[in-house]
């Protein structure tokens, strides 16, 4: 067991179909003209990813007032996927005169104007162990582009420091798949695939841990 987690033990790349063929050809010609040392625009953009902010999860229960004004809180009836904060922030290093900033703007503009694309491709984050092997994967499905941060250009700024910008994506579903077998492929068992209550189980009010009622001593 490793007592600490290293935040850089992950792998995230945009999928190969993140860029349409038409936009890909245009960006590749731009890269060739400016001697950018990458064959594919998707590889160039992936190389500028700096960090990812993974969303939080929060459960706000429903509250009822019982006998003697005692407030009792219960689990909400929301779908489990709606309990996640549905946004993923990706931070990029701005490089080559902000070329990657406007390349992403071109890609996202094409997606927005394309009426045949309801959602963007899945975004997958692979989490690695100390040896660089995948141990589980976070999959974000039904992804929508939400925002691209501002870019500030200033004549008075002469120093050369790292500049960053961010993209925010919204997703509707999240799955975490554990690598449970010896196969290098990710097992299909998701963290959301847990056992649920059925009518053959005791009712929640009849379980032994719920003993606050007067008739249970």
120 domain-assigned: yes
Q: Virtual CA dihedral for 139, 18, 144, 174, nearest 10 degrees?
A: 0
210 domain-assigned: no
> Is residue 177 classed as helix, strand or coil in its secondary structure?
strand
119 domain-assigned: yes
Distance, CA of 171 to chain centre: 7
As a whole number, mean pLDDT of residues 168-196 equals 70
Our count of domains for the chain comes to 1
211 domain-assigned: no
Residue among 150, 155, 140, 161 nearest 105 (CA): 150
* Separation CA 76–CA 86 (nearest Å): 17
Determine the pLDDT at residue 212. 47
Tokens of residue 70, six digits: 């005692």
Q: How confident is the model at residue 33 (pLDDT cuts 50, 70, 90)?
A: very high
41 has pLDDT over 50: yes
Pairing of strands 87-93, 164-178: antiparallel
4 domain-assigned: no
Task: Give yes or no for a contact between 76 and 59, defined as CB atoms under 8 angstroms apart.
Answer: yes
Instruction: Encode pLDDT of 71-89 as tens digits.
Output: 888 888 777 778 878 899 9
* Separation CA 125–CA 132 (nearest Å): 14
Q: Please state the length of the chain.
A: 217
Residue among 84, 22, 90 nearest 52 (CA): 90
Q: How confident is the model at residue 132 (pLDDT cuts 50, 70, 90)?
A: confident
Q: How confident is the model at residue 190 (pLDDT cuts 50, 70, 90)?
A: low
* Separation CA 31–CA 23 (nearest Å): 12
pTM comes to: 0.75
Residue that is written with structure tokens 């969303």 in the block = 55
104 domain-assigned: yes
Residue-by-residue DSSP string for 33-94: HTT-S-SSHHHHHHTTEEEEE---B----EEEE-GGG-EEEE---S-GGGGB--EEEEEEE-
215 domain-assigned: no
199 domain-assigned: no
Range of the domain at 101: 10-184
């Amino acid at each position: 067991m490793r007592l600490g987690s290293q935040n850089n033990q992950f792998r995230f790349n945009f999928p190969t179909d993140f860029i349409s063929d038409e936009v890909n050809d245009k960006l590749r010609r731009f890269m060739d003209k400016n001697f950018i040392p990458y064959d594919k625009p998707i590889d160039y953009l992936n190389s500028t990813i700096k960090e990812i902010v993974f969303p939080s999860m929060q459960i706000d229960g429903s509250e009822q007032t019982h006998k003697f004004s005692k407030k009792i809180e219960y689990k909400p009836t929301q779908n489990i996927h709606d309990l996640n904060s549905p946004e993923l922030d990706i931070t990029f290093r701005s490089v080559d005169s902000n070329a990657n900033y406007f390349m992403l703007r071109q890609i996202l503009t094409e997606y927005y104007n394309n009426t045949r694309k309801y959602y963007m491709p899945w975004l997958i984050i692979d989490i690695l162990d100390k040896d660089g092997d995948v141990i589980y994967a976070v999959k974000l499905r039904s992804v929508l582009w939400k925002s691209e941060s501002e870019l500030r250009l200033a004549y008075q700024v002469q120093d050369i420091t790292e500049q960053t910008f961010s993209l925010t994506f919204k997703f509707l579903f999240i799955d975490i798949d554990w690598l449970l077998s010896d196969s290098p492929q990710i097992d299909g068992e998701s963290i959301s695939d847990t056992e649920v209550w059925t009518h053959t189980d005791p009712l929640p009010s009849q379980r032994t841990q719920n003993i606050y009622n007067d008739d249970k001593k």
